[in-house]
Amino acid sequence: MQEKKVYLDNSATTIVNAEVIKEMDPYFSDKYGNASSIHSFGRQTKEALNNSREKIASLLNANVDEIFFTGSGTESDNIAIFGIVNTKDKKGHVITTKIEHHAVLYPCQHLEKNGYSVTYLDVDKEGVISLNDLKQAIRDDTVLVSVMHANNEVGAMQPIEEIGTYLQTINANRKNKVYFHTDAVQTAGKVCLDVKTLKVDLLTMSGHKFYAPKGIGVLYVKKGTKIKPITFGGSQENALRPGTENIPYVVGIAKAFDIANANLEENDKHVLFLREQLKEGIIKKIPEIIINGSGNRRAISNILNVSFKYIEGEALLVMLDMYGIAASTGSACAIGFGGSHVLQAMCVDPVSAQGAIRFSFGQYNTKDDVDYVLEQLPKIVEKLRLMSPVYKKF
Ligand SMILES: Cc1ncc(COP(=O)(O)O)c(C=O)c1O
Q: Ligand 1 pocket, 164 CB below 6 A?
A: no
Selection from 59, 60, 17, 63 nearest residue 252 by Cα: 17
Q: Quote the pLDDT of residue 335.
A: 45
CA–CA separation, 247 vs 241, rounded Å? 14
Q: Rounded to 5, what percent of the chain is helix, strand, coil?
A: 45, 15, 40
Q: Quote the pLDDT of residue 333.
A: 47
Same domain, 157 and 225: yes
Residue 221 is assigned to a structural domain of this protein: yes
Residue 303 is assigned to a structural domain of this protein: yes
Examine the fold and report which residue of 245, 262, 279 is the final residue of a domain before the chain moves on.
Answer: 262
What residue's CA is closest to ligand 1, atom 9? 73
Same domain, 310 and 164: no
Per-residue pLDDT tens digits for 333-385 = 444 445 799 999 999 998 889 999 999 999 999 999 999 999 999 999 999 99
CA–CA separation, 304 vs 217, rounded Å? 25
CA–CA separation, 280 vs 274, rounded Å? 10
Residue 138 is assigned to a structural domain of this protein: yes
Q: Ligand 1 pocket, 289 CB below 6 A?
A: no
Q: Ligand 1 pocket, 181 CB below 6 A?
A: no
Selection from 89, 102, 104, 93 nearest residue 219 by Cα: 104
CATH number of the domain at 174, please: 3.40.640.10
Same domain, 174 and 270: no
Q: Residue type at 21?
A: I
CA–CA separation, 377 vs 372, rounded Å? 8
Query: Is the pLDDT reported for residue 45 higher than 50?
Result: yes
Q: Ligand 1 pocket, 74 CB below 6 A?
A: yes
Helices 40-60 and 247-262, packing angle to 10 deg = 30
User: How far, in Å, is the centroid of ligand 1 from the Cα of 184?
Assistant: 9
Residues β-bridged to residue 204: 183, 219
93-97 vs 142-146, strand pairing mode: parallel
Selection from 159, 217, 213 nearest residue 188 by Cα: 217
Q: What is the mean pLDDT of residues 13-38?
A: 98
Per-residue pLDDT tens digits for 302-327 = 999 999 999 999 999 999 999 999 99
Q: Quote the pLDDT of residue 334.
A: 46
Domain count within the chain: 2
Per-residue pLDDT tens digits for 213-232 = 999 999 999 999 999 999 99
Catalytic residue among 108, 192, 333, 347: 333
Domain containing 298: what range?
6-15+264-393
Selection from 170, 161, 191 nearest residue 301 by Cα: 191
What residue's CA is closest to ligand 1, atom 7? 73
Q: Ligand 1 pocket, 330 CB below 6 A?
A: no
What residue's CA is closest to ligand 1, atom 5? 73
Phi, psi (degrees; rounded to nearest 5) at 289: -125, 160
Residue 108 is a catalytic residue: no
Selection from 96, 89, 66, 9 nearest residue 373 by Cα: 9
CA–CA separation, 292 vs 356, rounded Å? 8
Same domain, 255 and 142: yes
Examine the fold and report which residue of 234, 262, 290 is the final residue of a domain before the chain moves on.
Answer: 262
Q: Taking the complete model, does pTM exceed 0.95, yes or no?
A: yes
Q: Ligand 1 pocket, 149 CB below 6 A?
A: no
Least confident of 235-239, 299-303, 328-332, 376-380: 328-332
Residue 148 is assigned to a structural domain of this protein: yes
Percent of residues, the chain, with pLDDT higher than 70:
97
CA–CA separation, 14 vs 316, rounded Å? 22
CATH number of the domain at 385, please: 3.90.1150.10
What residue's CA is closest to ligand 1, atom 13? 12
Per-residue pLDDT tens digits for 184-196 = 999 999 999 999 9
Residue 29 is assigned to a structural domain of this protein: yes
Same domain, 216 and 236: yes
Q: CB of 31 within 8 A of CB of 48? A: yes
Q: CB neighbours (10 Å) of residue 97?
A: 26
Q: Quote the pLDDT of residue 338.
A: 52
Same domain, 65 and 214: yes
Per-residue pLDDT tens digits for 67-114 = 999 999 999 999 999 999 999 989 999 999 999 999 999 999 999 999
Q: Quote the pLDDT of residue 337.
A: 42
Same domain, 255 and 314: no
User: How far, in Å, is the centroid of ligand 1 from the Cα of 334?
Assistant: 11
Query: Is the pLDDT reported for residue 136 higher than 50?
Result: yes
Per-residue pLDDT tens digits for 140-171 = 999 999 999 999 999 999 999 999 999 999 99
Residue 1 is assigned to a structural domain of this protein: no
